[in-house]
Structure 1
């Protein structure tokens, strides 16, 4: 068997074994007790269907192959059947049983868990697990099935659940190994929890008793196609340990971290132990509910857990962890920079793309000002977008890739390499918003040469005319920003980067821009203009006219939800709730008609570490979180109107959540399912636990030297690759898409106008430098609102691409400073060399590692059209025919020389190093006499008879690029 990885919680396995030995009396009888083989279990065990109705017994006592007694059923005999038993506890308890997997890992087997009431209703389930048909034992918290541990067919497994109702957590063990911890939240209302929490805060010093809680242990035979499900040796026991502390928080103070907690009501608690990185760092008396850690370092991440210790020395299970990232203290601004001043580069926009531009330029030696119109600089990454929009992780590069690597390192440092948090962060690509915010802040603070100005809203842009200057008629020289107190600050620089999602700086400077959708006829784009798209066929419906307009794809907030008890804040009822009720009531109608049955069919849950979810629009359903049609005037609106639009979006979304949890038109089970979710207490602590950044998917698109369009992200007619761009500075790979531009229309009940998502036609593309350079302007670059059509922008409008384009802007700005070259005249080659030397991608390959010595060569030659598909095959021998083609692509003057070589015996088969040297000398003498000699032909230490690999050939040609 492939064992699951063990979670690092010290001494927990020993604790379980000692408890089992000490407490042998089960709170419920084994289902085989007192019942003959072939009969239904007795002793309080009952059977019912998913609706709570009695059923003909499907669970019977049987004899296993080894002679032991067990309980047997088969999946889907006559619909779902639950075998269950009720028990009461007042503190931590343990559930143990054994299950036998079926003959195949491709068939669904036993379901099991804990409930509060009828276990057939999803809203009553506290814990829902099953032997899945994908080879894993998994868990479902109401959103999706999460695979936990692989299993083998026809194998007995020992299941152990350690449950602490006080903190609302369950710890799942398989064959003695701790696999997973999960909230017990499905049966717990966030509103009830909040009321209990407030009561505990006021009465903790007066009451030390614990109330009895009723649970249901259940087994389920749903799913599958008749496979046997078998259970034996079922026990439920008190765990014999104190309840863990609740509501543990970690707060960053000056040079220290304060950990606070709420003790569970108990007269036996003698002390509390604080754990950090899996080891005890403090023990404090039971009368204490906080402790300060002074052993912390800037830039590091720390996670803390607290355990109660009773008078007998027994430890509780761990509390839920609380984590912090200690900020790096930024260098103080020099006196001259306190009120603006002159810089090499000014970046306007508090976004990850802006951070990448600032960091890239400062690391190269430029003096940079990052000016943010808000307090935050993390944009959507710190605003809830924790599920990174990236199709192929090989497309991650440069500063964005560095950020993902550092994110993974932070989770490892805080929680441990084998922790669930590390697994859930998916190599750093799935992260909590506060972690992204902290990391981006630290990247700025630790980079010398960056001055950050917050809450500075653009007021004016200064330009000067350019005479007889090809490519631009005006140059941006300075900007003025307004602070909240009404004072202004002026920034002058040689280069400016517009890093706003809206293109505010470039537009204010006079750059032309586009808003809305091009017509299909303008650029020949299949998905341009008015479109109705079929989810099932992924094709356009006949009513798609392709007419252009100024409609904008919908915005929303990528807010965060959690079902972890102790970290949930109730959803407030917004002031405008009644205004949106007519929209929300479509949901109740769809529930009645059987179209949907749970909250996860209304909103999309993207799983993040620590039981948080990135909430997004459900593309196939409306109403969801997209506030369609309510953003049309946002791109060109003044700040006051934008703030009003953002507030409307916030209230619409909060109202939607409040409706899902409270409206009596919805079934009770639906509402219970929704009521497990709350806003996270430890996120967005300065804005009511709701993000400040509206998800502006698209606003202005600044017109540049090239307009990126749909065809640039689709295969060419001749090759599987997207079109080649000689000036590529990044890659994009996300599917071309657009969110809806109109609400549901009666004549189109199954398609929202404007919505499409096209992974089948989209391929990784090259991002040309020309889309960063506004038409007719010098001294300003754009990294977010770049030059593209509405359809083409779909593959560019993602944070990884924004950061890659921002990094390119930073490199261009620094080269402009060092070489005295205007940004509008900057050649692509030096920018490309600079970027690839630092690990950035220009060309995507499925099989190329960034650590390969020839990495930069493959990247740059990809901009010359050397590769017809997405495979580099660096270790493969280079054949002569390919070498001839590549030489002519690099040196068109050698076309006649190639014709003389083609068709000869010497032009067939693999190429040797001796032959390559001979060819290069021949080209030099016959076709390239005007090229100076010297080191034109790269030297090689490899013998003449050695075969040339594709990596060798690329390395040679890369060094020969004119």
Structure 2
């Protein structure tokens, strides 16, 4: 198969890129490894949820995506209808397995069947079946994982940079959060008995150091007690209460410190179901233990699909096991056991996957090493790039990366804590949208001349944490697709297009690339706000 432009990844950004390229007169093929379009916007996050200043967003994101509503099945359906009405060829359930290059150009991508299972979990490896080769003049990697970029041999980053690497004060290993006086060992007091499950070995690196960890993932899921829509949450086949001994000890701690029965219930609900965000449940970062595992996402970033599939299923089985533990264990307060047991997944929201969202929230994985690296200075509006192709605005939003045994430096008491959590500036960040330059979505010319990467863009771990919102990805994807068509028209590398022509054309399409209006909000105190936490 051949097209002018091939877009890999049916994320919201991928759909916007495909539609834009089509509107600009190019032929397009869109490849989606799953069977659903819309990525996280079809899996719990709402189009406007992580967009505190909608006035800073234009183009198709504002005109179309923001009008898709808030109900995941409707959002998915509208993405499918939007792409289908444009007549764009979509190849579903095929995953990239190899890339053929011709010098500095990607010539062909090779994709193979890899359908997800009944709960939406990606296949562990591409199935044997009829492969498909797709050639194009320009490629857009709009996936959350950056697989096209990686298989093309384009350099990228994973993990956390040190403070010194880019002069970022919040970078690297962070301060301890959620410290709780719980013995971390299987046999309390015996360090030779190993750490409890769900606790990582501490690498011992000082604050500000680089490491390979990244922030936690989770599902944005819906619950119900309505038997008409309830899909029972069953325990995994290998369930053992020993796996959740840390949870038992944390429940005991909550019981000992709660001021009232209501306070106790609130703290227990932070474990499960978590934080009710905007109709769906999210990770409660203020709790030592919550509805998703910590310390496994770093293996997902650069892992193969055997590793990723295992981690994806582990997120499901962790939630199943946690639900069963809190519903049945005798040391969990009876009222909360009964409340938890009554919950099931809302199968009316994700009917095709038994109530499980069909996209794991991969908050960050690979990040391009591009011509420009977005840093915390950009987020703080301390730079003025001349090639801005869109605006971003959010706080530096990082969920915990690790859960470790930690000794309180003041009391010398041993406990368990999380590390890596930060929400600098809250959802409003600095209150001032910041520009994202074109060079942040282009590889260095010597690395590849016909690839654009609007999702796994070139940014530090800190800058990516503020930029990684679906509306921003969509804005960058629209600009990327216009750039791709200019590259085709002028027969030049994507790095050599006329930037002013690009900025002129995306402005004509309604994109907003400069900000002169005063913000309607002000920086928050950093506390998550309903409807505004990524």
Tell me if TM exceeds 0.5: yes
Instruction: Compute the displacement of 1:834 (Å).
Output: 1.2
Match of 2:85 among 446, 454, 460: 446
Aligned equivalent of 1:677, options 336, 343, 361: 343
Counterpart check, 1:594 vs 2:257: yes
Q: 1:829–1:606: structure 2 CA closer, same or farther, 3 Å change rule?
A: farther
C-alpha contact 1:532 1:751 (8 A) present in aligned 2: no
| Unaligned 5+ runs, structure 1 | 1-340, 408-427, 466-473, 537-542, 717-722, 850-868, 871-962
| Distance 1:692-1:746 versus aligned 2 partners, 3 A rule | same
1:574 and 1:846 mapped to 2: Cα distance?
Answer: 52
Which of 577, 580, 597 pairs up with 2:243? 580
Deviation track 1:807-866 (CA, whole Å, cap 9, x = no partner) reads: 1111111222223232121232111111111111212344599xxxxxxxxxxxxxxxxx
SS at match of 1:633: helix
Q: Contact 2:231/2:354 (CA < 8 Å) preserved in 1?
A: no
Looking at CA atoms only, which structure, 1 or 2, has the larger radius of gyration?
1
Q: CA separation of 1:832/1:848 partners in 2, compared to 1, >3 Å: closer, same or farther?
A: farther
What residue number does 1:398 align with?
59
- Superposition deviation, residue 485 in structure 1: 4.6
Tell me the secondary structure at the aligned position of residue 640 of structure 1. helix
**Per-residue deviation, residues 841-898 of structure 1 (Å, max 9, x unmatched):** 212344599xxxxxxxxxxxxxxxxxxx99xxxxxxxxxxxxxxxxxxxxxxxxxxxx
Measured in 2, the distance between the counterparts of 1:444 and 1:746 equals: 51
The corresponding residue for 2:99 is 461
Distance 1:441 1:590, change over 3 A: farther
The correspondence for 2:224, drawn from 562, 576, 582, is 562
The 2-side partners of 1:403 and 1:785 are apart by 23
Q: Quote how far apart the aligned CAs of 1:607 are.
A: 5.3
Deviates further, 615-624 or 478-487: 478-487
The answer (yes or no) to whether the contact 1:533–1:756 under 8 Å persists in 2 is no
Aligned-residue offset at 1:778: 0.7
Alignment of 1:389 onto 2:60: no
Superposition deviation, residue 463 in structure 1? 1.0
Q: Which of 359, 365, 375 is 1:699 aligned to? A: 365
Note if 1:817 corresponds to 2:496.
no
> Contact between 1:622 and 1:744, CA under 8 Å: does it hold in 2?
no
- C-alpha distance in structure 1 between counterparts of 2:519 and 2:419, whole Å: 39
Once the two structures are TM-superposed, the CA of residue 534 in structure 1 deviates from its matched residue by: 6.2
Secondary structure of 1:375's aligned partner: coil
Q: Note the C-alpha offset of 1:617.
A: 0.6
Unaligned runs of 5+ in 2: 114-126, 180-204, 259-263, 409-414, 524-534
Which residue matches 1:890? Answer: none
Structure number with higher strand proportion:
1
Partners of 1:617 and 1:751 in 2: how far apart? 16
Of 453, 459, 466 in structure 2, the residue corresponding to residue 788 of structure 1 is 459
Instruction: State the partner residue of 1:552.
Output: 214
Could you tell me whether the CA contact under 8 Å between 2:292 and 2:318 is conserved in 1?
A: no
Farther-moved stretch of structure 1 (563-572 vs 811-820)? 563-572
Aligned to 1:480: 110
Aligned match of 1:490 = 133
Hey, what does 2:185 align to over in structure 1?
none
The 5 A counterparts of 1:829-848 are 829-846=500-517
Please, what TM-score do these two structures have when normalized by structure 2?
Answer: 0.82
Contact 2:406 2:417 in 1 (8 A): no
Any conservation in 2 of the 1:516–1:551 contact (CA below 8 Å)? yes
Partner residue in 2 for 1:50: none
Q: Residue 360 of structure 1 aligns with which residue?
A: 20
Q: Please tell me whether the aligned partners of residues 575 and 651 of structure 1 are also in contact (alpha carbons under 8 angstroms).
A: no
CA gap of 1:735–1:563, structure 2 versus 1, over 3 A, is farther
Q: CA deviation at 1:627?
A: 1.3
* Contact 2:248–2:332, Cα closer than 8 Å, also in 1: no
TM-score, normalization by structure 1: 0.46
Question: Does structure 2 retain, via aligned residues, the 8 Å contact 1:458–1:505?
Answer: yes
Contact 1:591 1:666 in 2 (8 A): no
CA displacement 1:473-519 (0-9 Å, x = unmatched) = x1112111112452111111110001111111011111111111111
SS at match of 2:140: strand
**1 CA distance for matches of 2:473 and 2:137?**
22
Secondary structure class of the residue paired with 2:353: coil
1:623 positional shift: 0.9
What is the CA distance between 1:715 and its match in structure 2? 4.4
